[in-house]
Structures are given as C-alpha cells and as structure tokens.
Amino acid sequence: MSRELMQQNIEKAQCEIDSKKSVVKNGKMRQHYHFMPQTGWLNDPNGLIYFKGKYHFFFQHNPYHGFWGSMHWGHAVSDDMLHWEYLPLALAPSEIYDNDPRGGCFSGSALEHDGKLFLMFTGTTNEGKGFEQTQCIAYSEDGIHFEKYERNPVLTAPEGIPTDLFRDPKVWKHEDTYYMVCGASRGNKGQALLYRSKDMFHWTFFNVLAESRGEWGYMWECPDFYPMGDKYVLTFSPMGAGEHTSVYLVGDFDYETGKFNCHVTGEIDWGFDYYAPQSFLAPDGRRILVAWANGWEWMPLWKDWGPTYKEGWCGSFNIPREVRMMGDGTLQFLPIAEVETIRENRKHKDELVVTEKETELTAGDGVCFELKLNIDLEKTDADKLELVLRCGEGKKTACLLDFKNAEMSVDRNEADGWSRGISRSVMYLKGKKELDVHILSDQSSLEIFTDQYQNNHSNNIFAGDAQNQLKIRAYGGRVVIRKFESYGLKECFK
C-alpha cells in the first residue's frame, strides 16, 4: 500500500506541474542557463550523479507552491549540465517517517549499488513529539522510478543529538565498505557524523568526522566529504555562523580510525546566495560542485524571497563548478568548461586603461552575459575599481575592488527593490602581479569570481531587461586591464 501511496502522490504532483509549467516558463525573472524547477519551490541539490550516460540532478522541491513546504525530490537529466530534460518526481512524502506538511523527503545523495541507483535521504515527520529526522533508502532499476525500502528508516539520531537536527546524508564507497557523513548538532555546536555499512542498509556509527568549537555555528547542513589528490575535503553549510554560508576544510583522513585532521579552512563563496553545495564525480574525473542559489540565513533580508513566487516558482542552482586544489592546499571553484559551448558574440580588447571617467562596456545583451578581466596590478596605481552591473532605470549592482585595503564588496542595495545587503571578502594581493575577474550574469543572478577562483560572490539580483548597462571606472588613479573579453550566453531553457 505504501508503494501505491507514493505513486499516487507523485502523479498528483505531476498533474500540478503539467497544469502550470507552460505559464510559469514565461515568467520575467526566469533564468536562461541556470538550473531551476518547472514550477514551484526549489532548494538543496540532492543525489547528484553521473548514471547510465547522463548527469542526474535531484532537488528539494515543493511542486505546488513557490514557497518551502512538503518536500519532494524533483529529478532532471542532462548531457552537459546546462540543457535539461525534466523527469517524473523521484520521491514524494508517503510514509509515517516523511508524510508531514512541514516535513517530507529532505536532502540526501545518490550512489550506484548492485546495478541500481540508490538514494539516501532524510525523512522528516512530526507525530506529536516534535520533528523527527531519520535516514532512509530508496532505489531504482532504471534510475527514474523509485521504491522506498520497506524497512525504513535505516538510521535514527544517536543519543544526545536532537531528533530535528540530524539530516542530509552523503554516501560513498571505499573498497568494499560504504560510508556516510551526516549533519548534526550536539551541545549547540555543529557536527559531521561518520557511519559505515557493508550493504547500504545496516549502518553503524564510526566517528565524529569533525565538529565546531563554536566558530562554525550550531548545526552543519549538507555535509560532503571527498578525496582530492592525497588529501580529503569536508564541506558543509553552517547554521548560525553569520556570513559563513559554505565552508570547506582540507586535511588528512584515515579509513582505519575514521579520523579527519584538518589543516586548511576556507570559504567556497562569500555571497548571500550560495548554500548546501553537493559534489559528484564527472566521467572525466572532474569533481563538480553544485549549490542552491539562496540561503536560509538571509531570509530576513527578503520580502517573500523576491518576486519569483508571484510567477509560480522560486529557486535555482548556481552554475556548476569544478573543484581544484592549489599547491598550498586551498581550493579553487571554477565555472564548468561546458559554459564555453553557449557563448556567442565575443568582444575583446588586448588592453583597456580605466580612469576616473566612467566608461560603458558591452557584454552580450547586458542581461545574460559572461565577462572576463585580467588586471595588471604592477601598472595599476588606482585605489579602487568599480564595476556597475545590471544598471538602468536608476538601479544598479556595484562590485568594488579595493586595492588599497585588499577588499572586495558587492552592493545590491540599489539592485531591484527586493534585494538587500553588501557581501564582503578579503583579497590576497600581496606579491601578486595580476588579478583575474570572471562574471556570469543571468536574468536573476550575478556570480563574480576573482583571484584564481578562490574569492567568489554569488548574489541574486531580480533585475528587469531594461537593466542592461555595464559601466566601469577607477578611483584615485588608473587601472590597467591587460585583457578584456565578453560574451553573450545562449538560452538553455525554452
């Protein structure tokens, strides 16, 4: 009966999607090349995997409304991570452990096991004792139609862990053993708990992989753990840690003891809208990272999450990024190379000298574009460089590179009437001869990458088509740009 109930709930939700998708796709704030739902709400990326010749993205989804609630798992496949085919919903609330209007099938991950595609997810419900979160399994022969394991849940919160702060399993295999890291909270401090299994169904606690001493918030959401070279990387989104939305730790890991010793810490992104990143391996060996282009910590800065809910949808993913490691153990996060396949209308200059007189630049249609600058720091004597993006009708977003104080900031207070806040980060310029800047603009987002893709800002900007001007100026001297390139970017969603 439970299998039938999930199928009935999936069919009901699919009817809702099908009845609205033709209207929703014409929304003025819809993205052009960033992944988004056909209708309704999207948050965390889930179950990212390359399976049977396709990239599979699953996602936290409320198909009924442009607000969070009653979590389902949406599903789409792609050949290039830019053009997507939407598939039937993979999971819907249907069981005592997940069938709650303020719960459902929360975040998790995917793994191929015995030729099947397995999903591990957090079931969330409230049976009168407060919210309870447990770890559950579903599986599929074809990677499209899923069945929940009849003996779910396979794991409950350990003693001392609040039952509503135990979620987001990320699973992987090493040699003949399966491992899983899960987010938790103990003593009001965030933790990543490590488990292991021989069959994917029976799990035992192994170790506390890492935990906050107070600096990284009270709960670690969406932890991920993977090797890079001879090191291991732990990422998570800490709740209650202020401006820190997505953190990475790099160190050594011992499979015999389950101990992780961290040596390097860093930020994946300093913007307001980068949260819950999850990674997977592409078939060519690249480690690809995908995140939700929003963030719970910033909800008070929005009014109803911006205007998109009025169009029947809310939420998109940031552009997928390739993770690379530098010689000092810090990480880079580069937009995937596939973006190059949607470029058009290239413009370039071998050298551009920017003065205190504001200059207008051209990049695509000014809404959907890519911009790359290489700043010659040795020839630059200005204190600051300002890029005014998505400018028009008295609105703008300002990116300021402060060379004197080695700081970068993105100000969206005048962007659109909805967005608020200035995101800031430190630029490490000492001894450097150049500074690279790479910008991806879409209808409702700006992603700005600098300093070899180690200093990044992702921010939602709900700007109209008339906000299509790009301006640049220097303060206190000249800025010499060694190379300037811009492109329009073709639409992927139609």
Q: Give the active site residues.
A: 44
List alpha helices for 77-236, DSSP H: none
Contacts of 162 (CB under 8 A, 6+ apart): 185
Cβ contact 450:401 at 8 Å: yes
* Cα radius of gyration rounded to whole Å, the chain: 22
Contacts of 437 (CB under 8 A, 6+ apart): 371, 372, 373, 374, 375, 387, 401, 448, 449, 450
Cα gap 259→334, rounded to integer Å: 29
**Tokens (6 digits) for 223:** 């932890």
b/e string for 340-354 if b means 16 or more Cβ within 10 A?
eebbeeeeeeeebeb
Residue type, 182: C
Cα gap 102→315, rounded to integer Å: 18
Alpha-carbon torsion 336, 339, 340, 345, what sign? negative
Cα gap 65→88, rounded to integer Å: 17
Supply the DSSP symbol for 129.
S
Q: Nearest-CA neighbor of 91 among 15, 155, 6, 151?
A: 6
Q: Nearest-CA neighbor of 7 among 154, 169, 144?
A: 144
**Tokens (6 digits) for 234:** 């732990």
Give the Å distances, CA to CA, from 268 to 211, 324, 333. Answer: 18, 12, 7
Cα gap 380→3, rounded to integer Å: 65
Supply the DSSP symbol for 182.
E
What is the 3 state secondary structure string of 75-119? EEEECCCCCEEECCCCECCCCCCCCCCCCEEEEEEEEEECCEEEE
Residue type, 441: S
Cβ contact 177:198 at 8 Å: yes
